[in-house]
């Protein structure tokens, strides 16, 4: 996989984007020359560029993604600790998104050019236009501060009871879903419109199949191919969005960690985390591609 190698190099280059001397930036402006020298040696910045790249790639090959400067732990274990939070947020929001988005999109396509279509598409348009972090803050004011239905921030692990976990996750996941529902509904609608105008749908209707079987089985099934493609994008949007949403709800996930790492100039942690996420998405895209080939026999790899 050349892509994996390119990602590794890109993540490595992230540090060299820093204007000026990375060691000085990381150690802080008031650091003594000795402290800067120590950071430099610790990060291997005193070696040549190619040597650094070689060491970086060699460490990666052994599963060593570097270690954090502030957390006193390796990047891999730091990410591992916070992964459940981010994953459950992403999973819950995708769990909301797929049924709702597909249903709304199909509804709009089936009732195209009626008020149902307009209403659904307006909602979808709002979903992709309203910033999630803003609606999240409004949600906290309404549901936590005013109504007191859910806690305004913090995370309750699933191991401490399903109810508490769901209460702490419901609002973040829902606000995260808005964009994705809008996106998926729009995508499903155009896929369904495409399918519904195909000859085999006319044939299905002509041979007397019920509307439910025609639309629910024939049409939706074909539209599903597109939806599989969309899940890769949805996952990416969910993880990307969680960076921001975790910040609003003070959820101890990967996104919050990355933002904190950036503020604390813990660049090795940023670098390592980006890399792990990059690898994860390469795997996800690979799985989506495979599913796509399985779902649509017309697609074959060269």
Partner 1 sequence: MTDVGIGTRATAAAIAAPRGYGTLRRLLRHRSFLIGFTIIALLAILAVLAPLITPIDPSAMRVRLRFRPPQAAFWFGTDQFGRDVFTRVLYGARISLFVGFAVCVVSGLCSAVLGVIAAQLRRLDSAIMRLMDALMSFPAILLALGIAAALGPRVSSVIIALTVAYIPAGVRIVRAAALTVREMDFVQAAQVSGASSLRIVLRHILPNCLSPLLVHLTFIFAYAMLAEAALSFLGVGIQPPIASWGNIIAEGRDYATQAWWVMLFPGIAISLAALSLNLLGDALGDMLDPRLKGGE
CA distance 55 to 71: 22
Q: Judged by CB under 8 A, which of 285, 287, 291, 295 binds partner 1?
A: 285
Q: Taking a C-beta distance cutoff of 8 angstroms, is the pair 102, 184 a contact?
A: yes
Size of the chain in residues? 302
Q: How far is CA 285 from CA 73, 96, 110, 230, in A?
A: 30, 21, 30, 11
Instruction: Give burial (CB, 10 Å; 0-12/13-18/19+) of 19.
Output: exposed
For residue 24, how far is the Cα from the chain centroid? 33
Size of residue set near partner 1 by CB under 8 A: 58
Q: Which of 294, 149, 289 is nearest to 232 (CA)?
A: 289
Candidates 52, 281, 291, 295; binder of partner 1 (CB under 8 A) is 281
Which is nearer to partner 1, 174 or 239 (by Cβ)?
Answer: 239
Q: Which of residues 97-116 bind partner 1 (CB under 8 A)?
A: 109, 112-113
| Residues 116-155: x where in contact with partner 1 by CB under 8 A, - otherwise, as a string | ---------xx-xxxx-xxx-xx-xx---x----------
Nearest approach in angstroms of CB 222 to partner 1 is 14
Q: Check binding of 282 to partner 1 (CB under 8 A).
A: yes
- C-alpha–C-alpha distance, residues 291 and 282, integer Å: 14
Interface residues with partner 1 (CB under 8 A) are 2-3, 6-7, 10, 14-15, 17-19, 109, 112-113, 125-126, 128-131, 133-135, 137-138, 140-141, 145, 190, 193-194, 226, 229, 236-237, 239-241, 243-244, 247, 258-259, 262-263, 267, 270, 274, 277-279, 281-282, 285, 289, 292-293, 299, 301
């Amino acid at each position: 996989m050349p892509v994996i190698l390119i990602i590794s190099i890109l993540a490595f280059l992230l540090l060299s984007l820093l204007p000026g001397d990375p060691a000085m930036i990381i150690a802080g402006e008031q650091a003594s020359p000795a402290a800067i020298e120590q950071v430099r040696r610790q990060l291997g910045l005193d070696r040549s560029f190619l040597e650094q790249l070689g060491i970086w790639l060699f460490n990666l090959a052994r599963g060593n993604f570097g270690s954090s400067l502030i957390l006193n732990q390796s990047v891999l274990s730091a990410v591992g600790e916070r992964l459940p939070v981010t994953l459950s947020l992403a999973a819950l929001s995708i769990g909301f998104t797929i049924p709702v988005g597909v249903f709304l999109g199909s509804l709009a396509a089936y009732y195209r050019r009626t008020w149902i279509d307009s209403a659904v598409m307006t909602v979808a348009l709002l979903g992709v236009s309203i910033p999630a972090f803003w609606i999240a803050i409004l949600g906290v004011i309404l549901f936590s501060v005013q109504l007191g239905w859910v806690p305004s921030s913090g995370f309750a692990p699933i191991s401490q009871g399903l109810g508490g976990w769901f209460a702490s996750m419901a609002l973040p996941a829902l606000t995260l879903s808005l964009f994705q529902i809008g996106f998926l509904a729009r995508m499903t609608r155009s896929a369904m419109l495409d399918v519904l105008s195909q000859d085999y749908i006319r044939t299905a209707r002509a041979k007397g199949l019920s509307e439910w079987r025609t639309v629910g089985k024939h049409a939706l099934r074909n539209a599903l191919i597109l939806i599989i493609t969309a899940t890769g994008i949805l996952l990416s949007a969910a993880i990307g969005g969680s960076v921001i949403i975790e910040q609003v709800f003070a959820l101890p996930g990967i996104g919050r960690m990355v933002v904190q790492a950036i503020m604390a100039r813990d660049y090795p942690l940023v670098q390592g985390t980006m890399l792990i996420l990059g690898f994860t998405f390469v795997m996800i895209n690979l799985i989506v591609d495979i599913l796509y080939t399985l779902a649509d026999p017309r697609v074959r790899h060269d």
